[in-house]
């Protein structure tokens, strides 16, 4: 998709002229509408054909024009009182897919239907960013391995909002956010035979080549030398060796260093504690946390944000073999804490522990880890909301950063009494709970043992939000890239 800026009057809405030169040759006029807008549409859009359901969220309706006039694509936003920029992003995704389905190549977007229902929505930079971003994310598809996949002709959308430097910058930022999130989706969707741990590291290095970000890879003997006991133990069962990825980007050293920690299990069989599900192919997405953190940094780097950030990704493949980690083994970490492995399918917390310890070693003042860690969080919050645990203020700020993008988190409590569930007779702690309850909380309590007291920390369990089963709003089938924009926004707001 390509985006251009034109005068608001060029859409031919509300002027009584029926259009002008900017709509000549344009096949579609896109009109996002609130339920309240339908009865107050500007001149040129009012029609007896407009029905209430056409303004429902996620609804798209074609109104075919007379010869020589563009067809109108109405895109529903629902009720104005429930509006947020995430609603507009979803609407843009729906509109983008509608254009692709109908093979439309030229369109004009007018926000006249927004201002009719909510005057404060004036088609400014926030709306332009949201529309560009939502469109690009909505038309995404992962079809590179399909024989009959066809390259689509690039459509051009002209945004009838005026033209100035701020609006052009909005297009740039919206495009960057979408492209980085798409990079995360591509990584997460990749089949496991195409994305081993060292493949992930190579892609990261390639992505940040010729940027101000610095990539450091620890592998082989370096892992033991650095004290990365967890990733070494988890990865030893696979013939594809583990790697610890560190990406640093400091464009403002006066700001506190924040570490974004992403779980990078490129495929999780469960190890010796083998998974029993019928279809575990989506375990290729067990590195969705890594995808989110890497894409967040990509947004910050490419947008030129003023930040001080590090992304830490312990990457491994959890596979059974004669060399694999065994239930009952004891691992001693760099902070001196020993862990008895009760179940090798709770491997994510073992590798995250390395990164949390390392975050303090590099001087981070804050750390946010992101992981597909438990199914318990899905039972609690479903597939649309991730759980966040840890520092209350940090959790609140991260939640606020994600709202405009529809990346929602909900804080769960850290119940100190549950920490006893992790007791081990042979080590300082076990990696699993002895009690079959509060799985998301006990997993976070385990991670907290590796967080230095001086470090402000939050843990995001995104097991439910990592993928979408159908194309809706900003999401395509498959990986969502959840967390990338939320984390980038949070870091960019830091002072």
| Active site (catalytic) residues | 275, 349
Residue position matching structure tokens 């947004």: 299
- Integer Cα distance of 455 and 339 in angstroms: 21
Let me know: does 243 contact 201? Beta carbons within 8 Å.
yes
Token pair listed for 312:
């830490």
- Integer Cα distance of 294 and 310 in angstroms: 9
Q: Residue 276's CB: how many other CB atoms inside 10 A?
A: 8
Which residues fall within 8 angstroms of residue 400, CB to CB, at 6 or more apart? none
List the 28-33 sheet strands across, edge first. 2-6, 156-160, 106-109, 28-33, 71-76, 60-63
- Integer Cα distance of 477 and 83 in angstroms: 25
Let me know: does 240 contact 198? Beta carbons within 8 Å.
yes
**What are the angstrom distances between the C-alpha of 312 and each of 85, 218, 238, 303, 354?**
30, 11, 21, 20, 10
**What are the angstrom distances between the C-alpha of 394 and each of 222, 244, 459, 487?**
33, 26, 10, 12
- Integer Cα distance of 251 and 23 in angstroms: 43
| Ordered DSSP codes for 411-438 | E----GGGGGGG--SSSSEESS-SSSS-
């Amino acid at each position: 998709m390509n985006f251009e800026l034109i005068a608001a009057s060029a859409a031919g809405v509300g002027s009584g002229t029926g259009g002008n030169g900017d709509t000549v040759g344009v096949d579609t006029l896109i009109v996002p509408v609130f339920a309240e807008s339908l009865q107050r549409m500007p001149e040129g859009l009012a029609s007896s054909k407009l029905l209430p359901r056409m303004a429902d969220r996620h609804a798209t309706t074609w109104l075919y024009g007379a010869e020589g006039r563009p067809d109108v694509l109405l895109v529903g936003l629902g009720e104005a009182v429930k509006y947020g920029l995430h609603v507009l992003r979803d609407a843009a995704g729906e509109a983008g897919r509608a254009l692709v389905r109908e093979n439309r190549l030229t369109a004009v977007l007018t926000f006249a239907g927004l201002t009719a229902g909510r005057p404060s929505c004036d088609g400014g930079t926030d709306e332009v960013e949201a529309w560009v971003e939502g469109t690009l994310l909505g038309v995404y598809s992962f079809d590179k391995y399909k024989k009959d996949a066809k390259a689509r002709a690039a459509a051009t959308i002209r945004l009838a909002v005026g033209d100035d430097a701020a609006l052009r910058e909005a297009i740039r930022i919206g495009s960057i956010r979408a492209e980085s999130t798409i990079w995360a989706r591509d990584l997460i969707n990749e089949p496991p035979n195409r994305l081993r741990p060292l493949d992930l590291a190579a892609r990261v290095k390639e992505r940040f080549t010729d940027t101000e970000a610095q990539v450091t890879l620890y592998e082989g003997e370096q892992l033991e030398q650095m004290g990365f006991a967890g990733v070494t133990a988890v990865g030893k069962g696979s013939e594809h060796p583990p790697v610890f990825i560190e990406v640093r980007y400091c464009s403002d050293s006066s700001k506190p260093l924040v570490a974004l920690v992403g779980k990078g299990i490129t495929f999780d069989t469960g190890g010796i504690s083998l998974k029993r599900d019928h279809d575990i192919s989506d375990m290729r997405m067990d590195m969705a946390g890594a995808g989110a953190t890497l894409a967040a940094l990509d947004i910050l780097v490419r947008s030129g944000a003023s930040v001080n950030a590090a992304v830490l990704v312990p990457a491994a493949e959890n596979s059974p073999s004669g060399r694999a980690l065994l239930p009952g083994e004891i691992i001693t970490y760099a902070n001196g804490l020993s862990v008895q492995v009760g179940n090798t399918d709770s491997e994510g917390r073992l590798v995250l522990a390395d990164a949390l310890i390392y975050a303090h070693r590099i001087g981070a003042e804050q750390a946010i880890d992101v992981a597909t860690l438990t199914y318990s969080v899905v039972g609690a919050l479903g597939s649309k909301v991730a759980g966040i645990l840890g520092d209350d203020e940090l959790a609140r700020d991260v939640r606020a950063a994600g709202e405009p993008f529809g990346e929602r988190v909900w804080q769960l409590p850290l119940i100190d009494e549950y920490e006893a569930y992790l007791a081990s007779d042979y080590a300082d702690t076990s990696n699993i709970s002895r009690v079959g309850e509060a799985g998301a909380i006990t997993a976070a309590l385990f991670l907290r043992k590796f967080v230095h007291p001086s470090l402000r920390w939050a843990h995001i369990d995104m097991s439910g939000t990592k993928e979408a089963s159908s194309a809706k709003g900003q999401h395509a089938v498959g990986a969502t890239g959840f967390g990338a924009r939320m984390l980038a926004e949070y870091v960019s707001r830091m002072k």
